[in-house]
Chains A and B, each alone.
Chain A
Amino acid sequence: MLKKVLVVDDSEMIHKMYRLVLNRYSCEILDAMDGQQALDLLERHQGVQLILLDINMPVMNGVQFLEKAGALGFTSRIPVVIISTEGKESDTIRGLQLGAKGYVKKPFNPTLLHELIAKLMLPSGEVADFDQRRYANTL
């Protein structure tokens, strides 16, 4: 079901972990180290179905990315899940206001991410209800 995912995080380590976590989908994974790289990849690649987004990044952070990607029309087509270490919760809230479909706190339990992916990938997609519950739990 999941064929192409864009992972945006400034830690190489996290990219390696996502490779393991996402292994079960056998999907193509695009790696971006910051928001700008993520935008560049979106311009060049068709068919990205999911964006996993960190907030705290150099060059262009997650919130700035969501603003730009929203203006370019990417986030209306592609669901974004914020995956970020606890810290600036205000940024996360801003991210959700900017159209992110879900929020998972790092360190996350991969099962949680898989659940979220399963919901997001449903054609009906009851995402709003789902992420708000999670969100309330984690903040």
Chain B
Amino acid sequence: MSGECDFSALIGDFVEDAGGHLDAVEGFLLELERRAPAGCDGELVTLIQGHLHTLKGNSGMMGLSPLQQYVHRLEEVMKETGAGTLTLGGALFGALYGGINALRSALFRFAQTPDAGFDFAVEEAALEALRAAPHSVTRASAEATSEGTPEPLPSRSAAPAEFGYITQKSSTLKVNFEKLDELLNLMGELVIQRTALATLEKRLREQVSDRELLNAFNETSQLIGKSTDDLRQSIMKVRMLPVKSVFQRFQRLVRDLSLAHGKEVRLKLEGEETELDKTVLDEIGEPLLHLIRNAVDHGLEPPAERRARGKEACGTLTLRARHESNHIVIQVCDDGRGMDPEEIRKKAVARGVLEQEAAQAMSEAELLQLVFVPGFSTRSEVTETSGRGIGLDVVKKIVSSLNGIIEIESRVGRGTTFTMMLPLTLAIISALMVEVAGETYAVPLSGVLESVQVQGEECHDTGNGEVIMLRDRVLPLYRLDRFFGRESGGEREQEYVVVVASGDKKGGLVVDRLVGQQEIVIKGLDDYLGELPGISGGTVLGDGRVSLIVDIPSILGR
């Protein structure tokens, strides 16, 4: 029944889900039996029918028609029970419990050997027996012993083995993601308190002379610190899923796209086992989708063109994931035609994105960045899948919103690689704490490239904002004190500049002092504050003060 769609990947989910429905049905049946002396509780019957109905539908979708049919029979029996045609009694409940047990063991077998098939002949016979003599059911079962019923119903002789599921151990546990979020939130509080402990220790050292006590305190504080770290890592691990689940989805897309475009493409996955926090995993699907569409559509050449260039007719598209220090690196790499900076330069001028002179002055790396500009594309024709470069600026936007960086590397005739660097999680981040006009701000470390100290005279005012030259590249400066309207007094001889990047933009944030690196827990700001330019959230420092988190994209976007 499942047609050309393969649901075999869902077998595990299905068995688990079905088990849940059976547990629910059993629970309601027990309740129904308990209340039976007072009559048939229609509500319970409806609840049972609901679960059976869903299970029936799901079984059908999985292509398991014997299962579907048997559950359908159970559903009919419940319908008749609700209508009063079948009497609530030992035989009825016996048959139903027996049916649930049979379904449980059948599902268990199915999970082990999906091809084994199902057989509910005995159980169906038991249900038939009920329906054949509906009104004698209660009496028959009540007086079963005295009347010496010739054939005991199969369900009543349930062998101990049928209850194996009770003691069966499961190694997995399904938990609502919100509960994990709550756990991480509490963890965040602990991280904050640990920092408070360290601050306290510093003060104690200044005021208490009892070395022994201090050392004992220090030791305990260190142990708490270590346990906190371990705990945090364990919690983070629980939230991690292999990137495979997202990567796999693209196999089909690449196949369909390459067929549609008359191209031959092989999708290679590397580092699929790399684990990502679920919050990040949920977000990377869309940027990847755009990058892959772009690669198949623009990057890879048709087979004939590839052959003519001495390449293999089938192009290779590689999706790669790996951890790198505090980041996750995800790459989309093709061995296609690559991007020609000269072509981009011409297009940029032709489209009016750049003035002729500005275009001439741009380096090749800078020219490549232009593909992230809305409405820019290196191919002039519009295609259904990639459109006119609509995708790439969306990619940049999403990556920036995740506090990530995207880089592009391309060689003409050799291919293009897009590299996304994303934070490990969106809940706790490493931040560089800086001081501006007496306030401490947190700059997400994922966006920080380096910090440099420059002489006051190295800052040049171009009339269109200040810049410095950093290793032969012009870096625009943003004075945070001015940005936040908190002037901290004249320019100094030496300035601290935190070099940050967002998407493809780079800039230098001028701050008064670098405080240090620290892990912070992101707390959203309430909606009523509206949009705050330059601020993405807040965090609580060890001493209880609130520190605002600098929103790099919005500062660089100005």
> Which residues on A are within 8 Å of B, measured CB to CB?
10-14, 16-17, 20-21, 23-24, 26, 56, 58, 85, 87, 106-112
Main secondary structure of the interface of B (DSSP, over half): helix
- Given known A-B contacts A58-B50, A107-B1, A85 and B13 have beta carbons under 8 A apart: no
Q: Does B17 contact A (CB under 8 A)?
A: yes
Q: Give the chain B neighbours of A109 by CB distance below 8 A.
A: 1-3
B37-74 contacts to A, CB under 8 A, are 50, 53-54, 56-61, 63, 68
In the complex, A66 Cα to B381 Cα: how many Å?
42
Q: Does B515 contact A (CB under 8 A)?
A: no
- Pairs across A and B, CB under 8 Å, 8 listed: A13-B58, A13-B61, A21-B5, A87-B53, A107-B68, A108-B61, A110-B2, A111-B4
Q: Give the chain A neighbours of B5 by CB distance below 8 A.
A: 20-21, 110
Q: Give the chain A neighbours of B253 by CB distance below 8 A.
A: 23-24, 26
In the complex, A54 Cα to B1 Cα: how many Å?
18
In the complex, what residue of chain B is closest to A20 when comparing beta carbons? B5
Contact with A along B2-23 (1 / 0, CB 8 A): 1111110110011001000000
Q: Are A26 and B289 in contact, CB atoms less than 8 angstroms apart?
A: yes
- Given known A-B contacts A17-B10, A110-B3, A24 and B256 have beta carbons under 8 A apart: yes
> B54: which of A11, A23, A24, A108 is its contact (CB, 8 Å)?
A11
In the complex, A58 Cα to B57 Cα: how many Å?
16
Q: Are A107 and B54 in contact, CB atoms less than 8 angstroms apart?
A: no
Q: Are A20 and B9 in contact, CB atoms less than 8 angstroms apart?
A: yes
In the complex, A106 Cα to B62 Cα: how many Å?
11
The tally of residues in B whose CB lies under 8 Å from a CB in A reads 28
Q: Does B252 contact A (CB under 8 A)?
A: yes
Q: Give the chain B neighbours of A13 by CB distance below 8 A.
A: 10, 13-14, 17, 54, 58, 61
B359-396 contacts to A, CB under 8 A, are none
In the complex, A104 Cα to B543 Cα: how many Å?
61
Q: Give the chain A neighbours of B7 by CB distance below 8 A.
A: 17, 20
Q: Are A14 and B10 in contact, CB atoms less than 8 angstroms apart?
A: no
Q: Are A85 and B56 in contact, CB atoms less than 8 angstroms apart?
A: yes
In the complex, A108 Cα to B9 Cα: how many Å?
18
Q: Are B249 and A23 in contact, CB atoms less than 8 angstroms apart?
A: yes
> A107: which of B4, B50, B60 is its contact (CB, 8 Å)?
B60
Q: Are A14 and B61 in contact, CB atoms less than 8 angstroms apart?
A: yes
In the complex, A11 Cα to B54 Cα: how many Å?
7
Chain B nearest CB: distance from A98 CB in Å?
A: 21
In the complex, what residue of chain A is closest to B59 when comparing beta carbons? A107
- Given known A-B contacts A20-B7, A24-B252, A111-B3, A106 and B61 have beta carbons under 8 A apart: yes
In the complex, A72 Cα to B3 Cα: how many Å?
36
Contact with A along B156-182 (1 / 0, CB 8 A): 000000000000000000000000000
Query: 4 tightest A-B contacts by CB?
Result: A107-B60, A85-B57, A109-B3, A110-B5
Most buried by A among B50, B58, B60, B256: B58
Q: Give the chain B neighbours of A108 by CB distance below 8 A.
A: 1, 61
Q: Give the chain B neighbours of A111 by CB distance below 8 A.
A: 3-4
Q: Give the chain B neighbours of A12 by CB distance below 8 A.
A: 17
In the complex, A109 Cα to B65 Cα: how many Å?
13
Q: Give the chain A neighbours of B9 by CB distance below 8 A.
A: 20
- Given known A-B contacts A23-B252, A24-B252, A85-B53, A11 and B3 have beta carbons under 8 A apart: no
Most buried by A among B7, B17, B57, B59: B57
In the complex, A12 Cα to B17 Cα: how many Å?
8
Q: Give the chain B neighbours of A112 by CB distance below 8 A.
A: 3
Q: Are B57 and A20 in contact, CB atoms less than 8 angstroms apart?
A: no
Contact with A along B474-513 (1 / 0, CB 8 A): 0000000000000000000000000000000000000000
In the complex, what residue of chain B is closest to A57 when comparing beta carbons? B50
Q: Give the chain A neighbours of B3 by CB distance below 8 A.
A: 109-112
Q: Give the chain B neighbours of A11 by CB distance below 8 A.
A: 17, 54, 57-58
In the complex, what residue of chain B is closest to A1 when comparing beta carbons? B384
> B13: which of A16, A23, A107 is its contact (CB, 8 Å)?
A16
Q: Give the chain B neighbours of A24 by CB distance below 8 A.
A: 252-253, 256
Q: Give the chain B neighbours of A26 by CB distance below 8 A.
A: 253, 289
Chain A nearest CB: distance from B18 CB in Å?
A: 8
Add 8 more A-B contacts to A13-B54, A110-B4, A110-B5 (CB < 8 A). A13-B13, A14-B61, A56-B50, A58-B50, A85-B53, A108-B61, A109-B2, A110-B3
Q: Give the chain B neighbours of A16 by CB distance below 8 A.
A: 10, 13
In the complex, what residue of chain A is closest to B384 when comparing beta carbons? A1
Q: Are B6 and A20 in contact, CB atoms less than 8 angstroms apart?
A: yes
Contact with A along B246-257 (1 / 0, CB 8 A): 000100110010
Chain B nearest CB: distance from A31 CB in Å?
A: 13
Chain A nearest CB: distance from B178 CB in Å?
A: 15
Most buried by A among B5, B60, B252: B5
> A20: which of B10, B53, B256 is its contact (CB, 8 Å)?
B10
In the complex, A10 Cα to B47 Cα: how many Å?
13
Q: Give the chain A neighbours of B63 by CB distance below 8 A.
A: 107
> B60: which of A10, A23, A56, A85 is its contact (CB, 8 Å)?
A85
In the complex, what residue of chain A is closest to B75 when comparing beta carbons? A87
In the complex, A6 Cα to B402 Cα: how many Å?
25
In the complex, what residue of chain A is closest to B13 when comparing beta carbons? A16
Q: Are A14 and B58 in contact, CB atoms less than 8 angstroms apart?
A: yes
